[in-house]
Each structure stands twice: as C-alpha cells, then as structure tokens.
Structure 1
Amino acid sequence: MPTEQFETKMFHEAGEAPDRVAAQFQNNTSAINEIAKRLASDKINMVVTCARGSSSHATVYGKYLLERQTGKPVCAFSPSVASVYGAALNLRGAMFLAVSQSGRSEDLLQSAKAAKAGGAFTVALTNDSASPLADLCDVTLPLLAGDETSVAATKSFICSLTALAHIAFAAGGDDKGLSALEQLPAHLSQAWEGEWNAALPILQDARNLFVSGRGVGFGIAKEAALKLKETSGLHAEALSAAELRHGPMAVVSEGFPILAFVSADESKQSVRELVSFCASNGAKCLTVGEAVPDALNLDCPVGDDPRLTPILQIQRFYRFANALSLARGKNPDEPPFLKKVTVTV
C-alpha cells in the first residue's frame, strides 16, 4: 500500500501525459490528416462513436468538437445492439470511431464488425496497435500513451482526448486549434504541478456528490465522477449543468458537495449560474477554473484555446484524485473488484 501520493503508479503515469501527448502530435499528424480528409469529404455524413468507461467519456468531449468543426452529427453506438441483440445496421456514409485503451473488449469487437458489415468507414483509436480491434478496423490511430499499469486510466484518457481534438481541428481546417494543441504539452506540465489541498477536508469523509460541467467540460465531469468512485470509493454522479437543475436538485441539501468544471467558453455562464444557485441553497460547491462567489475555487491553467482547457483540468484533477484516494485510506492503483482490462459482451 503506497503511503505517499508520488509512490503510486497512478501518480507516475498521469505525470507522463505531457510527453505522451507531445509524441502523439509529432507521430500521428500524417495519419490524422488522412482520417480528417475522409471525414471532411462528402462521403461521410455522420460520425458514430463506440466506447466504454473512460474512453466513452472521451467521446463525449470529442462529440462537441467534431460537431462544431464539421457540422456533421455525432452519436454513440450501443455495443449491446451488436453483441447481445445481433442486429444489423445500415451505416453507409458513417465514420465509426471505436475508442479503446486495450482494443480487446468483446462487445467493441463485435460492434466494429457490425459497423464494417453495415458499410461504415471504421477507425480504431487504441493504445495497442496489435490488438484485435486494430486488426478489424480500416484504419488504426495509436494513442501512444505508453504502458499503463494502474487500473485507473489517466494518460491514456488524456491521449484519447487529444487524438479526438486533433481529428476535429484537422477536419475543420482549424489552424488556431492545431497550433494550440501542439503547445498543449507545456500547459499540461504546468497543470500537473498544481495542488488542490484545500478540497481534501471537504471530500475526505464525503459519501456522495454531484460532478457537473457543460459542453466540452461535460465529458471531463463524467470522467472525474468515475475516478472518484473507482479510486476513492466515493459515490459521485456526473450531470450536466442543465440537467442538475431539474429533478436531481432535490437531492441537494445543506453541506452537500458539488464539484463543477467551469469551461472557459460559452458554456461557462450556465455552470456559474448553477453553482450560485446550489451555493445559495446550502451546497458546498467547488469550482475548477473560473471562480464563483460562495464556492471554493480550485485553480487551473487555461492554456491557449478554451476548447482544450478541459484537458488541463482533468490533468490537475488526476493529481488530486490520487491524493484524495490515499487520504481516504484507499489504493488508487488497485480498486476493489476491478482489473485493467474489462471484458464485456
């Protein structure tokens, strides 16, 4: 059992993200340009993503960028449609993006087979270029995250985000976004050095909380909630800033913790309004990014492009999640009942 946060695999692997992202940008540009060219053409009219767990959260982030950059709808494929129900789908004119760290989960493999049979152009984003998923798809884009042995995915998640952002910016011909992505490793290093020690006492003994975000920040909120469950045994539910104002608001009571990721784009106002409303009703609110009155602000670099800010926020969050896990007497590298590769059908 590690006793200091810097002794865990999670800490070391998350800290490698800046170098891995730099290597990915340098080595994948040619392959991504080919994928982006196909995506931007009239041959593709929609994108279908397929993923589980952290990879699924990455596709939520990618959805916002891809739709804005290409004007083409992005939807999530339900793996059970192929693996449980065996349904045949017509996916002609679709790009099928399968995102998987291992590339070995049976339901994703069956989904990729079904997508290919249905006429889709299939692309695998995986950290294992020799995986069965890579063999199945028309094109494989390696995440290049390097070996990841902690059960909790960190650098591989960040590399999934940057790969999706790279595809979106390239497809949209967005030179500003591509330039910001190239400079992102330096900002990731800066984000990694920050501590959120003030938040530890608030969440060390907590049993439940909401994690919220909106737009490009929503996928990050979903990933943060998963990591809190996975590494700290803390029941965290991710909700968009819009959805939390509906039925879930009835759960909020005096002292109820809410962790809100405030993106640096047009979505920030709705998140700010949510935090202000919850704080006025007694919730203990923590904000990542822009400060909000009556909430504890957890600072984080913004970077060169607000669309990439959520990547910096999750990088700093990983350091905090590792520290929180240890403070709660857990081992972030070995969550109970879990293993690195989850095989579902």
Structure 2
Amino acid sequence: MAAESKGAIYGAIVANLGIAIAKFTAAAFTGSAAMVAEGVHSLVDTGNGGLLLIGLHKSKAPADETHPFGYGKEIYFWSLIVAISIFAAGGGISLYEGILHVFDPSPLQDPTWNYVVLGIALVFEGGAFAVAYKQFRRATGGGPIWESIRRSKDPTTFAVLFEDAAALLGLIAAFAGVYVGHLLEDSRFDGIASITIGLILVATAALLGRECKGLLIGEGADPEELRAIRATLGADHAIDKIHKLLTLYFGPHTVLLTTEVEFRDGLSGQEVEEAVDRMEKAIRRTHPHVHHIFIEAESIAETTRPPGQS
C-alpha cells in the first residue's frame, strides 16, 4: 500500500506542476483572478505532494531508544502540515485575489486561453481523482465513503483524494466564473469564482486537519477489529475472561495492543507462558499490523496456585 501511495503522489506532483504552469500562463494572457487562484491551487498541491513524500520517508525510520515504537506518526504530522498549507497558501491567496478583483475588477480579455487550459486540466484532474479514488477504496475495503475516511489510518490515501476532489470543484468554479463573467460582461464574477475556490480549499484543509488531529492525538482500532481480536483471544482454551483491551496506532500499519486477561484456575506458570505465546502468534497471524502485544494476567498468583488451595 505504501508503494501505491508513493506512486500516486509522484504522479500527482508531475501533473500538478504541469497544470500550474499552464494555468499561470493563461492567467498572464487573460488577467483572470480565477486562473490565478487555480494556478496557486495546483502549485500548492505540487508542494503538498513533496511534503507527503517527506512524511512517508521519515515514517519508515526504524525504532530506537528515543522512539521505541518507531516513527510511524511522522506521516500524521506532515499530513497536518499539508492541511495548514492548503488553508494558508491555497485558501488565503485565492480569497485575497478574489476579493481584490471583486472590488477592483480587471477589464475582460479573450477567454479562449482559459477555456483551453481548464478543459485540459479537467481531463487530467479527473483521471487523477479516478486513480486516487480507486486506490482509496482498495485500501479501505469499500463501505460508505465518509465512514471509510474516518476509519482509515493512512492519511496519504485520503489527503490525495481530498486534493483531487477540491481540484475538480475548483476547476468547475473557475469555468463558471469565466463563462458567466463574459456572458454578462461583468468581470467581478471572475473574482467571485476565485473566492469560491478559496472557500473550497479552506473546507478541504479543515476536513484533512480534523482527520490528522485525531490520528496525532491517538486513535485505536475500530470496534469491528476489536471484536475480532477479542474473539481470537477468547478462542484460546486457557482464557477464562478478557477484561481490558486497548489499542493505539503508531502509524498507518503499526498497532500497539495491551490486554488484561484472566486465566483458568489451576494453570502452571509454564502453561500460562505457552498460552501467552499462542495468543500472540494467533493475533499476529490474523492482524499482521499489530506489531506490539502486551498481555497482562490478572491475579497471576491465583493462576499459579495449585487446584484446591485457598
């Protein structure tokens, strides 16, 4: 999945950089605020791709004494930086350009360049969105889209999806602004389109930031996975009761599991050790992303007490 995410990010960087150059070229010929906003949007997306690659690279660093559970959360931090970048650079500049052109509209220019660039960008962004959506659905296993986003622990998948969706909406807004502005001979609609693009980017940044915040604070496994882990533990004949079951993601594919169990009466210390070993192997077999497992026996003295002794 990491290789697929990295491939999608590289593809998005190349496409966004080319589209940004085309949009700025069109803006230079037409003076369109919407095209400037779209150029900034694509340029920000290009930079954000680089930030995600930095996060992916740093998250692969091996665990050490200062970070015994690894550096998996690096990708959560850099995804949050992407959200801030979209909000400040993308949304802020687009809103500024839009407000400026609404209060001080530029003379209308031939929109041909705008239509050509927007049409080409729509094709490329549409293809990019289709690829990102397909990879996201493959990674999350289907289900309702918003539920899948909330359950996903890999922000690179939904960050690219958010950016591509925002890009498509921004292109539609830019096209509408240019078209309506020339239809009514009022260039203020061009500025309104830029403001709309800015609001789209601000909303995208807010959604991405909210998801990254939850991952940074610390999210556990979803209820369905917890039930499956509990069932795996409970299937061992040495277990009498399962009390606490706590999980925490230290990265998209690294989970810490701690649990407190009660063993059947009469087990020897050796049998308890064998049971713990069996359970750890069973969990790792069915949940390979659970890298760290800590099983605590409640009242271990009771489990080692010979039968009948009080």
Q: By the TM > 0.5 criterion, same fold?
A: no
Task: Give the structure with the higher percent helix.
Answer: 2
Task: Give the structure with the higher percent strand.
Answer: 1
TM-score (norm 1): 0.26
TM-score (norm 2): 0.28
When Rg is computed on C-alpha atoms for both structures, the one with the higher figure is: 2
